[in-house]
Amino acid sequence: MAHTEPSKLDLSAAAATNESAIVDSDSVPAGEHDSRSIVPSTVPSHHRAPSGAPSGPVATAPNQYPKYIEHLTRLADARPSSPYLNPIDYDGLSWPSVGARERLESSVEEKAAREKRIADAVRTLLTELGEDPNRSGLLETPERYARAMLFFTKGYEDNVKDVIKNALFEEDHDEMVIVKDIDVFSLCEHHLVPFYGKIHIGYIPNSRVIGLSKLARLAEMFARRLQVQERLTKQVAMALWELLQPQGVAVVMEASHMCMVMRGVQKPGSSTTTSCMLGRFREAQRTREEFLSLLKK
């Protein structure tokens, strides 16, 4: 697949539909993989770009894994809102929530009204908990909480084009690149309490590299949302795969969840590890083992 010049990276094509992007398996010689990627042709209409959006190849998943594609097909039929399709939408947003564009495009007055509605809801919550929202310690808490929640979820408004900018470069490098110990903080979507930890991102370039700080910014963008760790890990990996079209991507995340510490089983010190391996990291055991061993150093 031909690479786009970094300064002209067109992320708008990532979620628009184009039938020519679907690979005909009959055209691929036996035992070989087409260099392109595919997604199931059954992707529901609401995963496609709105009418008038720029045309281009669909956002893809690596077609080296028939079982993975079969899995995506089932997801497209059973769970249309699954985040495993279309990693970058037609306007640069990545897996936007239902109200993401409305929030992003709000006027100053609309943003103030949204913040007030959140604060009013928090005031009701405090009352229902048996507190007095008018006492001195809680008097401005609803407004503070509203601003905090909007910050904690600011990733919904982030645009990949603005996050990455022009930090994609053509470079003759085909060895592993790893950035370890990136701190991430997110909110569990089940209980709205924090989970936090470190994420490690590695990839094997295919003549294109990304500015190292952009890996951390990409992780931050997906972390500043209501999340589950499994999805966060996969979103970072899939977005990087789409941006770089590398030989492989590997993402490992280790995190502590307050929903397991402050409530429920109440087990301080427990840690959850998730991973997503694509391309050579998934196919070649030695490559995967090298990556995992480097994380321990």
1, part of any domain: no
Instruction: Report d(CA 297, CA 294) in Å as an integer.
Output: 5
Given a cut of 60, is residue 279 above it in pLDDT?
A: yes
163, part of any domain: no
Q: What is the CATH number of the domain that holds 115?
A: 1.10.286.10
124, part of any domain: yes
Q: Which of 38, 59, 93 is the last residue of a domain?
A: 93
Q: Tell me what pLDDT residue 72 has.
A: 64
2, part of any domain: no
Contact predicate 255/271, CB 8 Å: yes
5, part of any domain: no
Instruction: Report d(CA 250, CA 278) in Å as an integer.
Output: 6
Query: Are residues 225 and 180 part of one domain?
Result: yes
Contact predicate 19/53, CB 8 Å: no
**Catalytic (active-site) positions:** 188-191, 229, 257, 259
Instruction: Report d(CA 235, CA 198) in Å as an integer.
Output: 15
Average pLDDT over the chain, rounded to an integer: 79
Please give the DSSP secondary-structure letter assigned to residue 52. Answer: T
Instruction: Report d(CA 282, CA 276) in Å as an integer.
Output: 9
Contact predicate 48/15, CB 8 Å: yes
**Torsion of Cα atoms, 80 then 200 then 69 then 94, to 10°:** 40
pLDDT digits 0-9 by tens, 199-233: 999 999 999 999 999 999 999 999 999 999 999 99
Q: Tell me what pLDDT residue 297 has.
A: 82
pLDDT digits 0-9 by tens, 147-196: 999 999 999 999 888 899 889 999 999 999 999 999 999 999 999 999 99
Q: Tell me what pLDDT residue 92 has.
A: 73
Residues 6+ positions from 33 with CB-CB distance below 8 Å: 63, 64
Contact predicate 279/247, CB 8 Å: yes
Contact predicate 169/205, CB 8 Å: no
Tell me how many domains the chain contains.
3
pLDDT digits 0-9 by tens, 236-249: 999 999 999 999 99
Query: Are residues 243 and 206 part of one domain?
Result: yes
Q: Which of 93, 111, 129 is the last residue of a domain?
A: 93
Q: Phi, psi at residue 158, to the nearest 5°?
A: -75, 140
Q: Tell me what pLDDT residue 13 has.
A: 41
Instruction: Report d(CA 52, CA 68) in Å as an integer.
Output: 31
| Distances, alpha carbon 118 to alpha carbons 61, 75, 112, in Å | 37, 33, 10
Q: Tell me what pLDDT residue 21 has.
A: 36
Query: Are residues 297 and 181 part of one domain?
Result: yes
Give the residue from 226, 160, 218, 162 showing the smallest Cα distance to 194: 226
Q: Take residue 191 and report the two structure tokens written for it.
A: 């209980």
Query: Are residues 262 and 192 part of one domain?
Result: yes
Given a cut of 60, is residue 35 above it in pLDDT?
A: no
Domain range for 79 is 11-93
Instruction: Read off the pTM.
Output: 0.70
Query: Are residues 294 and 190 part of one domain?
Result: yes
Residues 6+ positions from 227 with CB-CB distance below 8 Å: 186, 187, 188, 189, 195
Q: Who wins on pLDDT, 83 or 158?
A: 158
